[in-house]
Structure 1
Amino acid sequence: MLTTIKNLPALTITSDNFQAYGQLITSSKDGKLYDQTDAKLNLKNGIPRFYIMQLKKRGRQFDRITRHCQCTQCLGALEGKEWLMAVAPPSEQNYPDLTQLKAFKIPGNCFIKLNVGTWHAGPYFDHDEVDFYNLELSDTNVVDHFTYNFLKEDNLTFEIVT
């Protein structure tokens, strides 16, 4: 059986169009008081881990999507590099709602906070290499890493297009 490749157009991220998946966090003046524009974090279920992950040659295709049900996750690119992320809102099922699957183009001068349970594929990019900072729990990728395999279950691959 042939694999179907579906194009997923990338939207330019805004606070409004990303709201179902998490938050877009942009710069603010030093001294600003805490408000609704700050990341609302849930890291209470373990030891927070903040690290820099180096990714190489990611391209734009994916056939798996993951979620974390015990914490929020923050991601941002260093060096101002633009990147892409596909997301679907949290769901009760063990698979994402394809009707709500979206891709976003994210500039390198901000970061995203994913809500607890948000399905995500990425980061993806066209650069040779990008360093990303990542805030999650120390054991997120061991005990809180649930993946749905589109290729195995649906014979489907996605390609993010801009």
Structure 2
Amino acid sequence: MSESITVQQLTAEWITPEIFKPYGQVISASTDGKTYDETDAQLNLKNGVPRFYIMRLHKRGRQFNKITRHIECTQCLGSLEGKEWLMAVAPPSEGNEPDVNKLKAFRIPGNCFIKLEVGTWHAGPYFDDEQIDFYNLELSNTNIVDHFSYDFIKSKNLQFEIVI
């Protein structure tokens, strides 16, 4: 007989550069001609060929049981058309398991993007719209050779739901 799955709610808070810092960066618009500084995305794409593409995602909802990390590169994500979206993250960790006690969910407005630090665990993007296009910057082979996932159902009979 299998154990029942527990659904744990994560309340999404509005993202700010300060509260997102353990996971990466929030990148917002700046004036044209601004000199490069620490407010620009601090990218690590040295381990392969960068890939910038637009991914089309269909009605993702707000529930998840798997979380992923990339240990070879940073990753940047942002929605097109100014649409709000949700992301769950946990800070980089030793070993093959995220710290569930440090798992947080964020509401991300459509006027910025996020840069995930190398090793940041992430689940998403999530949203209620029928479809949202996202721009994505990572390595060309990230999803083949640098895609490490953790399944909360298999390990803890746990699923998450992001609430706002």
Q: Which residue of 2 aligns with 1:112?
A: 114
Supply the RMSD in Å over aligned alpha carbons: 0.4
Q: Which residue of 2 aligns with 1:130?
A: 132
Q: Which residue of 2 aligns with 1:159?
A: 161
* Paired AA for residue 137 in structure 2: L
The Cα shift of 1:99 comes to: 1.1
Q: Which residue of 2 aligns with 1:41?
A: 43
Candidates 133, 140, 143, aligned match of 2:142: 140
- Aligned residue pairs total 162
Q: For residues 9 and 54 of structure 1, what CA distance do their matches in structure 2 show?
A: 25
- What secondary structure sits across from 2:107 in the alignment? strand
* Paired AA for residue 13 in structure 1: I
Q: Which residue of 2 aligns with 1:103?
A: 105
Q: Which residue of 1 aligns with 2:13?
A: 11
Q: Does 1:79 align with 2:77?
A: no
Q: Which residue of 1 aligns with 2:4?
A: 2
* Paired AA for residue 138 in structure 2: E
Q: Which residue of 2 aligns with 1:63?
A: 65
The Cα shift of 1:59 comes to: 0.1
- What secondary structure sits across from 1:99 in the alignment? helix
Q: For residues 107 and 129 of structure 1, what CA distance do their matches in structure 2 show?
A: 16
Aligned residues with identical type, % of pairs: 70
* Paired AA for residue 67 in structure 1: R
Compute the TM-score of the two structures, normalised by the length of structure 1: 0.99
Structure 1 unaligned segments of length 5 or more: list them: none
Q: For residues 44 and 60 of structure 2, what CA distance do their matches in structure 1 show?
A: 28
Q: Which residue of 1 aligns with 2:56?
A: 54
Structure 2 unaligned segments of length 5 or more: list them: none
Q: Does 1:150 align with 2:152?
A: yes
- What secondary structure sits across from 1:81 in the alignment? coil
Q: For residues 21 and 9 of structure 1, what CA distance do their matches in structure 2 show?
A: 17
Q: For residues 71 and 5 of structure 2, what CA distance do their matches in structure 1 show?
A: 29
- What secondary structure sits across from 1:17 in the alignment? helix
- What secondary structure sits across from 1:80 in the alignment? coil
- What secondary structure sits across from 1:39 in the alignment? coil
Q: Does 1:93 align with 2:64?
A: no
Compute the TM-score of the two structures, normalised by the length of structure 2: 0.98
